[in-house]
A and B are shown apart, each in its own frame.
Chain A
C-alpha cells in the first residue's frame, strides 16, 4: 500500500511525484543560514528540533538559476546517508495514492531532469515524473562552469 503513496509537488518549476517512503516530512522554514563557499545547490542550513538540515535548491541541480528562499516556504525533508536534507519546493500539492503503474520514461528530457527522474506515472490526466530525492543531493560535475 505504502508503495502506491506519492507526494505530488512542484519543484524546480515542474510537477513531480515523489515516493512517500523516501520522504521524512514536509515542513516550513524561516530564513536559512548561508554556507559560504559551499556548492551552489546548497541554499543554506536550518534547524528542525535539535537537528541541523542542509537546504537544497533543486533549481540549481536541474540547471536553472537559484531562487531566493521565502520565509514560510515549504520544504521536503529527506534523509540520505544519515544526513538530513531538505528540498525547496515551489508548491506542495497533495499526498495521494496513485494506482497507475510507474512506466518507463518516454521522450527526451532535459539533461538535468534525466539524471534525477526514475520513471513516469499517470495522475489525474497528467504525466508526472517520478523522481528520487537523493539524486538532488549530489550535484553533477559541472560541465562548463
Chain B
C-alpha cells in the first residue's frame, strides 16, 4: 500500500505537524519533570505525548517511529508504576529518543518515507539502566492507560489545522468587506434611505465588525508555544558548560500573531543561549561575586497596548561598556577617537554592530560573530525594537518589543501639509496644544525647542521634515504638539497642523522606494478608503539629524536603586552547603575565597593530616580521614588573609542573608551556633575555631616566607642535608653563590669553627653551625649542625616563625 493517495498525504502531513508540536512541548515538560520528579502531572503529560506519537505512527505504518515512541512510553510507564526511578540518565535517554524522533520526522517530511536505519543505540541507552530494576517487580492489575490519557486525547480533536495562506485570504476578504461596508454606509446616508433599511444595515455592520475581530484572533497563538523549547535548550547548555541555572517563564498566556512568532523565535533562542554562554559566570566567579550559585534566567511576556514586551533577564555579569569599547576598537569596528565620543548607552549598543561578538574567545555555543546584529535586524524587520537594560556585574535584561500583529496597530491620525498621516500610538507620550499654557517654544540658533513643564524637547515640524510648505487652510495658532518617544531614552516634540483621531490601522509595508525615504514605516487603509502613510518616528529623527536622547533626566531614581543594592550587598551573607555527612551547614560567605572542584585523587594523607594538592600548592583539609570514593570533590577554600584551609562539602545549596538571631553553642568548636534559614535549623561553622586548629599546621603557605642564605657551603652539605629541612619548615633557601634581589632574612654560616663567615656583615642576623656536638664554651652561640630543634629555635629567634 503506497502512500500515494491524497488522503494518506494529508494524514502524513497532519502527523508531522502534530508531532513537531508535541516534540517541542515534550522537551520542555521533561526538563520540568527532571527538576521535580515527584510532579506526576508532568510525567502523565509526557507519557501522553509519546503515547500519541506511537498511536499515530502505528496507523501510518512508520515502524521506526513506533518502536522509538514505544520504548520511551515503556520506560515512562515503568516510572509511573513505581518500578523505576526517575533520574538524569532516564531523562537523557528519553530526550535522546525525542531527538531521534525529530530527525526522523524531518527526513519524513522531505522524502515522504521513513528512512531506513537502526535505533538500537538510543533505545538501548534507555533500556540499559532500567533492566536491572525492572525484573524483580511485577505489578499486576495496573491499567496500561489511565482515564485521563483518553480525555486528553479527545481534547486534541477539538481543533483543526488551517494553512496560513487560507487564513490570510480570509483576512483580506474581511478587510474588503469592511471597506465596501463603509462605502455603502456613505451612500446610504447620502441617499436619505428609510430608517428600517439603515437599521438592518447596522445589524449587518455589527456582524461584520464581529467577524473582523474573530479573524484577527484566528491568527493569534499563545506565546507559550514560543517558550516551549527553551527549558530544554537551557538544560542542555547549562549541563554542557557546568553552570547551574534556574529557568523560568511567565506570561505564556499572552497572544501573538503566528507570523510575528516565527520572526522572533530565532532571536529569542539566540538571546537565551548568549545569556547562558556569556552572561552567566562560572560557579566560582558567582561565589566570589557574592551571588547565588544557581543563576536565574527568566523570560517573560506581557502585553502593553498593541505591543508585546518580551524580557529576557539574567543575573549574570552584565555588559561592561569599557570591555565592549576595547573590543570594538581592537576589532576595528570603531576608531579610538570615535570610541571616546560614545555615550554609555552607545557603548552598550556596540553589541549590535555587525560582526561584534562579546565573548573573549569564540565558543561553540555562541560568539561566532553572527548574533546581536541579526537579532536586532530580525526584530526591527517586523516593526519591533530591542532594548538593553544593563547592570554591570549584576545582570542584563534584553527587552524585545514587537507589535502584537503584523497587521493591526493603533494609530494617531494627524494632519500636515493638507494630508493625513498616522503615528503609532505606542510611541506617543502626550498630546498638547502648541499655543497652550504648559508649552513654551523657543528659537535657539536656527533650531526650535519646546519646553513642557520644565522638560525640554527638540521640536520638529512635520511639514519641514517632509519637505513641504504649510498648507494654506491650516490654522497657524491652533497647531498641536505630539510628544513622541521613539525608543527608550529618546523623545522629541512633533508639531502638526491638527490631530484627527485614533484608529485601529491595518499596516502594510510600502513600496521599497517609499520605505527608502526613511520617513515612513508603511501604509494603511483607514475606513474611508484613502491610503494613509504611517510615519517612522525613529526615521524622522535620523532624517532631521537631531539628537533626542534624554540623558540625565532620571538620575535620582537610579541613584536610589544603586544605594539600595549596595545596602543589600553589605549585609553579611551566608553560604549554605551540604556537608559530606549530609548535614546542612552555613558559613559566612566573606571567609570563602572560592569553591574548588577537584578530583578525589588530589587528596592525600601525610603526617597524620589530610591535605590537598591544588595546582602547585598544598593546603590542609578539614577532614579526619581521607574520604573514600572516586570522582570529583568540592572544597570550600577558606582564607584568613594568611593561610588557606579547605573544607570538603557535598554541594553548595544557596547563598542567603545571614539571620540576625544566632543561638550560640555551649562550648567553642566547629559549630559556632545554630541559625534558622527558611524555618530550618542550620549549623553555623565557626571559621575562627577552624582556622585555629590548622594555624601552624603542616605546610600552610604564608604570604612571605623568610629567606635563608647558606654561606660557605663548600661541600654541598647545606644544599643536600640542610635545605630540605629548612624548606619543610617554611623557609626559602638560597645558597651562597646564587644571586638574589632580595636581602636574606638570616644567614646560615656553615664554615668550620674559628673561621670568619665570609658573608657576614650588615644587619642580617647570622647563625653559625658547628661540626662538633659539644659547645666550645658557655658563650658559644653556634649550633651543632645535626641538632634540628636547636637550629629551628635559633632561626625562629632571629627571624620569627616561618609558619603562620
Which residues of A are interface residues toward B (Cβ below 8 A)? 33-39, 42, 45-47, 49-52, 54, 81, 83, 85, 137-139
CB atoms of A36 and B510 under 8 A apart: no
Please determine whether B514 and A54 come into contact, CB atoms closer than 8 angstroms.
yes
Report which of B417, B514, B529 forms a contact with A47, defined as CB distance below 8 A: B529
What CA separation (Å) do A33 and B511 show in the bound complex?
14
Of residues 507 to 525 in B, which have CB atoms within 8 Å of A's CB atoms? 508-514, 516-517, 519-520, 523-525
Cα A37 to Cα B516 with chains together (Å): 10
- Are A33 and B529 in touch, CB under 8 angstroms? no
- Interface pair B531/A46, CB less than 8 Å apart: yes
User: In the bound complex, do residue A38 and residue B531 qualify as a contact, i.e. CB atoms below 8 Å apart?
Assistant: no
A36 touches B417 (CB 8 A): yes
**Interface residue from A39, A45, A139 paired with B531 (Cβ < 8 Å):** A45
Interface positions, chain B 489-534, Cβ under 8 Å from A, are 506, 508-514, 516-517, 519-520, 523-525, 529-533
Cross-chain pairs A/B with CB under 8 angstroms, 7 sampled: A36-B468, A38-B513, A42-B511, A47-B525, A50-B179, A52-B523, A85-B511
Q: Are B467 and A36 in contact (CB under 8 A)?
A: yes
The 8 Å CB contact of B513, one of A36, A39, A50, A51, is A39
In the complex, what distance in Å separates the CA atom of A139 from the CA atom of B524? 24
Please report the C-alpha to C-alpha distance between residue A102 and residue B514 in the assembled complex, in whole angstroms.
34
**Of A33, A35, A46, most B-chain CB atoms within 10 Å:** A35
Bound complex: CA A50 to CA B176 (Å): 5
Shortest Cβ distance from residue B407 to the other chain A in the assembled complex, whole angstroms: 11
B159 within 8 A of A: no
Determine how close the nearest CB of chain A comes to the CB of B90; give it in whole angstroms: 50
Q: Are A42 and B525 in contact (CB under 8 A)?
A: no
Chain B interface residue count, CB cutoff 8 Å, equals 29
Chain B residues numbered 541-562 whose CB sits less than 8 Å from any CB in chain A: none
* Interface pair B172/A37, CB less than 8 Å apart: no
B529 touches A37 (CB 8 A): no
Which chain A residues lie closer than 8 Å to B525 at the CB level?
47, 50-52
CB within 8 Å for A37 and B179 given contacts A52-B525, A138-B513: no
Additional pairs, 16, CB under 8 Å, beyond known A37-B519, A50-B172 = A33-B530, A35-B517, A42-B511, A42-B513, A42-B514, A45-B510, A46-B531, A49-B179, A50-B175, A50-B506, A50-B525, A52-B508, A54-B510, A54-B513, A83-B509, A138-B513
Distance, CA A33 to CA B513, complexed state (A): 16
Residues of B within 8 A of A138 (CB): 513
Kindly state whether residue B419 has any CB partner on chain A within 8 Å.
yes
**B466 at the A interface (CB under 8 A):** yes
Which 6 A-B residue pairings sit nearest by Cβ, starting from the closest?
A36-B466, A45-B531, A50-B175, A54-B511, A52-B523, A52-B531
What is the CB-to-nearest-CB distance from B536 to chain A, in angstroms, rounded to a whole number?
Answer: 11
Question: In the docked arrangement, what's the CA distance between A30 and B172, Å?
Answer: 22
Please pick, from B467, B509, B532, the residue contacting A33 in the complex, using a CB distance under 8 A: B532
A33 to chain B, nearest CB (A): 5
Give A44's nearest chain B residue, CB to CB: B531
Closest residue of chain B to A45, judged by CB? B531
- Interchain CB contact (< 8 A) of B511 among A36, A46, A83: A83
* Cβ–Cβ contact A47 & B530, under 8 A: yes
Quote the shortest CB–CB distance from B634 to chain A (angstroms).
60
Q: Closest chain A residue to B529 by CB distance?
A: A47
* Residues of A close to B531: CB separation below 8 A: 33, 45-47, 52
Q: Which residues of A contact B532 (CB under 8 A)?
A: 33
Q: Is the CB of A45 within 8 A of B417?
A: no
A139 to B533, CA, bound (A): 21
Taking the closest CB of chain A, its distance from the CB of B478, in whole angstroms, is 21
Task: Give B532's nearest chain A residue, CB to CB.
Answer: A33
What's the Cα separation between A139 and B514 when bound, in Å?
12
Give CA–CA (A28, B175) in the complex, Å. 21
Q: B512 to chain A: which residues have CB within 8 Å?
A: 81, 83
Instruction: Point out the residues of chain A lying under 8 angstroms from B417, CB to CB.
Output: 36
Chain A residue contacts of B513, Cβ below 8 A: 38-39, 42, 54, 137-139
Q: Which residue of A lies closest to B528 (CB)?
A: A47
Which residue of chain A has the shortest Cβ distance to B519 in the bound complex?
A37
**Complex: chain B residue closest to A34, CB-CB:** B419
User: Which residues from A are CB-within-8-Å of B524?
Assistant: 52
Q: How far is the CA of A137 from the CA of B513 in the complex (A)?
A: 9
Complex: chain B residue closest to A36, CB-CB: B466
Chain B residues with CB under 8 Å of A39's CB are 513, 516
